Amino acid sequence: MKIQEFITFRLVKSEDLNHHGTLFAGRSAEWFVEAGFIAAAHYLKPENIVCVKIHGLLFTQPVKRGEIVKFISQPAYTGKTSIIVYIKMLSSENNDIVVDGFITFVNVNSFGKPEAHNIILDIQTDYEKQLYELAKNLVKQKSK
């Protein structure tokens, strides 16, 4: 299946701030998972998707009230029942990556048990290959 990028935006409002007056990491994580879910839902039925792991978020700069952040998400790897999505959040101030990482979602049946999804990604570009290898290494780490 062809890999697609999905873009979502969020306006950082007063209620999204921490005690330093910058974007609260918890709110960022919420939006991060949502952006990843949107990408996964393009490939799987939304009602069958569960988030099982957020693979480390590294914040590189603060985000201030009034900024619009942009999330770009795309699938990077598929297993038998899982799909790993790569997400990056960019600042509207300078278009730098503020935070990025991977999330593993699993396809489940109506009883909540993992179920095969039969999705094979059509990895073509060097960038897609790089993300695939990074995500594949996350799977290897899990199995150790």
Tally of CB atoms within 10 A around 81: 19
Q: What residue spans define the domains of the chain?
A: 6-142
Q: What is the pLDDT of residues 25-43, one digit of tens each?
A: 999 999 999 999 999 999 9
| Per-residue pLDDT band at 142 (split at 50, 70, 90) | low
pLDDT score at 56: 84
Q: What is the pLDDT of residues 42-96, one digit of tens each?
A: 999 999 999 999 998 889 999 999 999 999 999 999 999 999 999 999 998 889 9
Q: Which residues 6+ apart lie within 8 Å of 78 measured at CB?
A: 84, 117, 119, 120, 121
pLDDT score at 39: 98
Fold category of 6-142 in CATH: Thiol Ester Dehydrase; Chain A (3.10.129)
